[in-house]
Amino acid sequence: MIGNALDDNDKRKRHHRLAIENVAQDLHLSKESVMTLYEIVLTRYMRTARIKDFITPLVIKRVKELLKDDTPPSRIEGRRNRTSEL
């Protein structure tokens, strides 16, 4: 899954998986629910970023903002089609 937004760099993949696990633990959510949103945000940021070195902290921040919002989980899934909000 994470491989879609990244190149084949295993170190980078592990880095993003660790970020997903940390967000899930911080917010008391499943890794799977965090991963879905993380991938959406990561893909969007990777597409538009000029400097990709700081993507992870920005993605983590945005994912946490979206998940802390009072939006029900089903609405977060629906945001996949409304990427301008991410």
6 inside domain: yes
86 inside domain: no
Quick one: pLDDT band at residue 6, thresholds 50, 70, 90? very low
17 inside domain: yes
65 inside domain: yes
Residue-wise pLDDT for 9-61, tens only, equals 788 889 999 999 999 999 999 999 999 999 999 999 999 988 888 899 999 99
75 inside domain: yes
85 inside domain: no
Residue (of 9, 73, 13) closest to 37 by Cα position: 73
CA 30, CA 33: separation in Å to the nearest integer? 5
What is residue 36's predicted lDDT score, i.e. its pLDDT?
Answer: 93
Q: How many domains does the chain have?
A: 1
The boundaries of the domain holding residue 67 are 2-80
Q: State the first-to-last Cα distance of the chain, in angstroms, to the nearest integer.
A: 19
Residue-wise pLDDT for 65-84, tens only, equals 999 875 555 555 444 444 45
What is residue 85's predicted lDDT score, i.e. its pLDDT?
Answer: 54
Query: What letter does residue 18 receive in the DSSP assignment?
Result: H
